[in-house]
Amino acid sequence: MTTNMMFIDPHIHMSSRTTDDYTAMQEAGIVAVIEPAFWLGQPRTNVGSFQDYFNSLVGWERFRAQQFGIRHYCTIGLNSKEANNPAIAEQVMELLPLYACKEGVVAIGEIGYDDMTKAEDKYFRLQLDLAKDLNLPVMIHTPHRDKKAGTSRSMDVCLEHGLTPSQVIVDHCNEQTVQEVLDRGFWAAFTIYPKTKMGNARMVDVVRHYGCERIIVDSSADWGVSDPLAVPKTARLMLERGISEEHVRATCYENAIAAYSQSGQMDPKDWLDPSPRDQRLLFQGNSVLRGQEPVVETSQEYALIE
């Protein structure tokens, strides 16, 4: 693989990952990530849990990524799985506008359907209205069961609420859904998992068949069995199997910029001309260090980030 290629992972849950992952990702050429608001693996029991989580996405995690040489962005939303608890969902909806305009928030997401319930539909629509009001892109979570029907329905609802297809990234696509997503003008994003969903080899075949226009590769790496290096590994396999470097660069880097820079919060200058790293820095009194020698790229004085 060309050693100077840069990659973006536009769907990865870094709050679930370690600093070793950040180091490996940076060494593999990943320069920026987008972390969508997600569920914990178990139900949250109060709205304060959401508030603390959203604070971490726009605060600590953004700081932690920079300390390891990666630019961090996020999306804010009520995940479809958690929309089925209306008592808490109503309170979360009041929180979302407070975070959606924070620095580094590039979309409302990931939102959509899980079991296609009435509650999921209600809060999906409310969040689409919020995205339209704020002129933000939307990241769609398509259901893992009955994916084709759920994907079609998700796009229908987006159009009903006045979003243009170019504003909407439909994630967790597969071979059954990609044709319709592209035909209707939406972005088609693919989650690369080691064992389930899309695999690296299947992704190569998709790009070979459909080309690179409006196709995005991501890892969705989280607290389960997943791979934070899925994007560079897929890029390498594409090149090995004859996909052009132009198409690799589009699907693993440029298309994510085009889709999410619509927010006004994402610019290649953020990682091409970054602030120098200084691991002596603190975030609200906390450090990424555990006794190791800090990386200091300049002679900046020790500082405290409030």
Average confidence (pLDDT) over 173-199: 90
Examine the pLDDT at 300 and tell me if it is beyond 50.
Answer: no
Average confidence (pLDDT) over 156-164: 98
CATH of the domain at 79: 3.20.20.140
Average confidence (pLDDT) over 249-253: 98
Q: Is 35 contained in some domain?
A: yes
Assign 3 a pLDDT band (cuts: 50, 70, 90).
low
- Across all residues in the chain, what is the average pLDDT? 93
Q: How many domains does the chain have?
A: 1
Assign 306 a pLDDT band (cuts: 50, 70, 90).
very low
Distance CA 175, CA 184 (A): 15
Distance CA 96, CA 99 (A): 5
Task: Name, in order, each residue with C-beta under 8 angstroms of 211's C-beta and a sequence gap of 6 or more.
Answer: 247
Q: Is 299 contained in some domain?
A: no
Structure tokens at 108: 């409302």
Could you read off the pLDDT of 233-249 as tens digits, one per residue? 999 999 999 999 999 99
Q: What's the confidence (pLDDT) of residue 4?
A: 83
Distance CA 50, CA 54 (A): 6
Assign 88 a pLDDT band (cuts: 50, 70, 90).
very high
Single pTM value for the model: 0.94
Q: Is 170 contained in some domain?
A: yes
Structure tokens at 221: 């790496």
In angstroms, the Cα distances linking 190 to 141, 174, 196, 216 are: 11, 7, 12, 6
Average confidence (pLDDT) over 47-76: 97
Q: Is 303 contained in some domain?
A: no
